[in-house]
Amino acid sequence: MKGIMIQGTSSNSGKSFIVTGLCRLFHQMGIKICPYKSQNMSNNSFVTHDGCEISIAQAVQAEAAGLKPEYFMNPILLKPNNNSSSDIILNGKFFNKPAEKNYYKNFTQTYGIKAVKDSLNIIKNNFEAVIIEGAGSPAEINLNKYEIVNMKIARLANVPVILTADVDRGGSLAAVVGTLELLGEDRERVKGIIFNRFRGDIDLFKPAVQWIENYTGIKVLGVLPYVEDVSISGEDSLSINDKKKFSKINIGVIKYPGISNFSDIDLFEKEPDTSITYIDRLDDLNIFDAIILPGAKDTLRALHWLKSNGLFDAIKNFSGFIFGICGGFQILGLEVDCSESLELLPLKTKLDGTKYTSQISGSLYSDLSVKILGYEIHVGGSICCYDNKKYLPLFKINSQAEGIITDDFKIAGSYVHGVFNNDRFRNKWLNRIRHEKKHGERPIYDTSTVKNDSYNKVAEILKNNLDINFILELLRHEDTNFQRE
């Protein structure tokens, strides 16, 4: 099939950033391009129009390519439970066995490889070309026999590979040379190298580029600058910034183990007067105007973690605004599976093993003109006790009450992921905080335009710093001389 694959010398080397930018750039050129990652590991997920679950990174790439996200763009999603086990989402649906010790032997070579082949066939038959994202490094020789995310995928799709290295973390020259040394026969698939996240005077790096080309015989396609003012939704917790930053409105986000869908918080970074800080230990919460409890892969584990480090009592006694999303919403209730929770909202949660995934549309219960779009991903359900005085429904979804909010708007929660991606709702919530702090209210911040501008800016950065004509030649050329799987 026609396409290219972006692999990295390490995790977090910028593969997702490059794939997203190329998806937008080729979309601008009128190419019907499809993003693809055979297997992703992330608790940041998205629900497609037909109720399938994929990594949010591929959903973002689809959006950049002008497409609706589909399950075949990420047929295998691993959602970590702990250091040794992950839930498997296969073709968008929950698989009945977790990824544990024998995952590579028992799953990847049976259900996994079939899903990969089927999804690649769908893409081949419906798109002009594919941009495939690898995972981690292709030089993990201990996994070569069973992996289905790096060079095995390049062979199955029969596409050339572009290798990217992160200059900012240091050691990028050694990382490139070492990776190529360990690739064996697959080394011939690598047709280009990209150096990513370079800071400083590019002239100082030109001798390194020349040396790499002479030593490896592989063309360097460009050096991308370190970019600070453009962001796309992160796919894992490596991209969470833990540094404290303060503005007029300061929001603390609880970073418990197994934090999921922290992309729900991303757009607060775009608000001109708002900052977010991730909290992973007992802190003085009074420095914040609001606390958000995001999704949690394992609500009971997150609840135990809060109790063990003192944050449980600190949140319970916090006097500012509090909002819980999904697992965070469950934690705000009276109990979760008979375990005492924060008792800040009147709901009881039972984790009965039933998983719900669906897209959501509705409105704010108190103002039907404020529309809500998002999605649900949760296990079990909750019983909410409204009293029409202090505790009120937050949203109206399909004529049903959803979520809870106190009459003073101070404490609220919902199962809806992406709730703060709705500009009018986010603005309404922030203006309540601004009003309490005696700041002037701000107009609605149009994040749909900001997101689109971000995709365009990433595409422009790639266009200005990479040999796009060479990449286009790779994309459009099917080489029958490549070794096939």
- Residues with active-site annotation: 326, 417
DSSP code per residue over 374-433: EEEEEEEEEEE---SSSEEEEEEETTEEEEEEETTSSEEEES-BTGGGSHHHHHHHHHHH
Phi, psi torsion values for 38, nearest 5 degrees: -60, -40
Could you give the 3-state DSSP secondary structure of residue 130?
Answer: strand
Could you give the 3-state DSSP secondary structure of residue 347?
Answer: strand
Between the CA of residue 21 and those of 4, 458, 465, 479, what are the distances in Å?
14, 5, 12, 25
* 272: CB partners within 8 A, 6+ apart: 442, 445
Phi, psi torsion values for 483, nearest 5 degrees: -65, 135
In contact, 245 and 277? CB cutoff 8 Å? yes
Cα(161)–Cα(151) distance, rounded to whole angstroms?
Answer: 9
How many CB atoms are located within 10 Å of the residue 80 CB?
Answer: 20
Cα(303)–Cα(293) distance, rounded to whole angstroms?
Answer: 11
